[in-house]
Amino acid sequence: MSDLLYSEEEEALRAAVRDLLADHCDAAGVIARTESDAPHDSSLWKTLADGMGLAGLLVPEDRGGQGATHREAAVVLEELGRAVAPVPYLTSAVVATEALLACRDGDDLLAELASGRGIGVLAVGLHTAPGAAFATVRAADGALHGELTGIADAAVAGVLLVPADDGGLYAVRADAVTVLPQVSLDLTRPVARVVLDGAPGRRLGDTETAVHRALRAGAGLLASEQLGLADWSLTETVRHLKDRTQFNRPVGGFQALKHRLAQLWLETVSLRAAARGAADALAAGEDADVAVAVAQAYAAPVAVRAAEEALQLHGGIGMTWEHPVHLHLKRAKADSIAYGTAGAHREALAELVDLRAP
């Protein structure tokens, strides 16, 4: 049975990331950044990746990383989720890194990503579930032609990992393509259109295996980010309802609201078990397909509901641009599509656990 707890080291890692985010990633700053041309926080990313070495957790030490596992990366993502931190951790340090780990070539890029010197993204639409079809570009004479949409964090990537119609996954430098930001629902993890017009690419390995591995890890660890979102929503709402008085009573004393929050608490602790289960299964390489599908099928509705409840129970203030709850709602809603919807993961389970459709 998998280990569903946090080790002392994992708790220490959490505390370090939370401290950093408390000092350098306040909600007002994140909101202000979304209104600028540069929604990503590059100085925060530098501290996380370079200063703390967190971008290389999934990379073995002999390939330039920290040699940790998905369990530790999941803890980092919980904290990044709580803060809705606008950094490309999931896309670069998890998804692109996993794709590179599955490729024969590209250890130089792996080391670049692991050290935080470079940011990479997998050029597959963020909505794509593990095992689902995805768009490719045309490869001809070592150059790539085509257009890909919904590529998360492409705006800050130095290298894109591009699937081509010849079955290869190619590394393409960002300065060789055109990246056109799309107006995104989630302002803190924006998506972009990537246009390749004869861009030179370097073939790293086989697309199918690399993309599947990358998306499975992305989906599994996204559950930890969703846990962070839900946990923040619950904690902040409880805090607000203890303080807020109406009818000469704290609003949190009304049973209708207490029951809603208790229900949300139950779903959040359940999500914690599911997310730890997925992280541990990915780390151990056992039962990962089922554990990831279970976690994703459960996480998305819980994170969305938590953010929606947070908004409703904050009342009017929750509807304002100034209050951070909308950051969590937008991230949670976008996350419910990212790496496959809950429904897509349930369909995957139908095959995996032999509960087949009519």
Partner 1 sequence: MTDAAALRRRTREFLSAHPPADTGRLDFLRARFDAGLAWVHFPEGLGGLGLPRSLQAVVDAELEAAGAPDNDPRRIGIGLGMAAPTILQYGTQEQKRRFLKPLWTGEEVWCQLFSEPGAGSDLAALGTRAVREGEHWVVNGQKVWTSSAHLARWAILIARTDPDVPKHRGITYFVCDMTDPGVEVRPLRQITGEAEFNEVFLTGVRVPDAHRLGEVGDGWRVAQTTLNNERVAIGGMRLPREGGMIGPVSKTWRERPELRTHDLHQRLLKLWVEAEVARLTGERLRQQLVAGQPGPEGAGMKLAFARLNQEISGLEVELRGEEGLLYDDWTMRRPELVDFTGRDAGYRYLRSKGNSIEGGTSEVLLNIVAERVLGLPAEPRTDKDVAWKDLAR
The CB density around residue 255, as the number of other CB atoms within 10 Å, is 8
Pick from 29, 167, 198, 253 the residue near partner 1 by CB under 8 A.
253
Least Å from the CB of residue 250 to partner 1: 5
Contact between 353 and partner 1 by CB under 8 A: the answer reads yes
Pick from 3, 9, 23, 243 the residue near partner 1 by CB under 8 A.
3
Distance CA 326, CA 310 (A): 9
Least Å from the CB of residue 254 to partner 1: 9
CB-nearer residue toward partner 1: 104 or 259: 259
Contact between 15 and partner 1 by CB under 8 A: the answer reads no
Question: SS3 of 286, please?
Answer: coil
Contact between 13 and partner 1 by CB under 8 A: the answer reads no
Distance CA 172, CA 131 (A): 23
Pick from 135, 176, 273, 284 the residue near partner 1 by CB under 8 A.
273
Least Å from the CB of residue 327 to partner 1: 23
Contact between 265 and partner 1 by CB under 8 A: the answer reads yes
- For residue 203, what are its two tokens? 């073939």
Pick from 22, 32, 38, 269 the residue near partner 1 by CB under 8 A.
269
CB-nearer residue toward partner 1: 104 or 242: 242
Return the DSSP state at 56.
G
SS3 string, 47-116, reads HHHHHCCHHHCCCCHHHCCCCCCHHHHHHHHHHHHHHCCCCCHHHHHHHHHHHHHCCCCCHHHHHHHHHC
Q: Which stretch binds partner 1 (CB under 8 A): 127-135, 253-261, 303-311, 327-335?
A: 253-261
Q: Which stretch binds partner 1 (CB under 8 A): 183-191, 209-217, 225-233, 256-264?
A: 256-264
Query: CA gyration radius for the chain?
Result: 20
CB-nearer residue toward partner 1: 42 or 263: 263
Nearest to 231 by CA among 189, 166, 275, 186: 275
With a CB cutoff of 8 Å and minimum separation 6, the contacts of 62 are none
Pick from 43, 246, 248, 255 the residue near partner 1 by CB under 8 A.
255
Contact between 355 and partner 1 by CB under 8 A: the answer reads yes
Q: Which residue has the tokens 């998305």?
A: 300
Pick from 22, 266, 317, 319 the residue near partner 1 by CB under 8 A.
266
Pick from 132, 135, 179, 261 the residue near partner 1 by CB under 8 A.
261
Q: Which residue has the tokens 């792996």?
A: 110
Least Å from the CB of residue 242 to partner 1: 7
- For residue 316, what are its two tokens? 């009017």
Distance CA 314, CA 111 (A): 45
Pick from 40, 71, 216, 272 the residue near partner 1 by CB under 8 A.
272
Distance CA 155, CA 174 (A): 9
Size of the site for partner 1 (CB under 8 A): 40
Nearest to 299 by CA among 3, 54, 78: 78
Q: How far apart are the first and last CA of the chain?
A: 32
Nearest to 191 by CA among 159, 157, 141: 157
Contact between 8 and partner 1 by CB under 8 A: the answer reads no
Contact between 120 and partner 1 by CB under 8 A: the answer reads no
Q: Which residue has the tokens 């656990």?
A: 353
The CB density around residue 45, as the number of other CB atoms within 10 Å, is 23
Please state, in angstroms and as integers, the Cα–Cα distance from residue 44 to each residue in 86, 118, 303, following that order: 9, 14, 24
* Per-position x/- string for 284-303, each x denoting binding to partner 1 as judged by CB under 8 A, each - no binding: ----------x--xx-----
Give the residues lining the site for partner 1 (CB under 8 A): 1, 3-5, 238, 241-242, 249-250, 252-253, 255, 258-259, 261-263, 265-266, 269-274, 276-277, 294, 297-298, 346-347, 349-350, 353-358
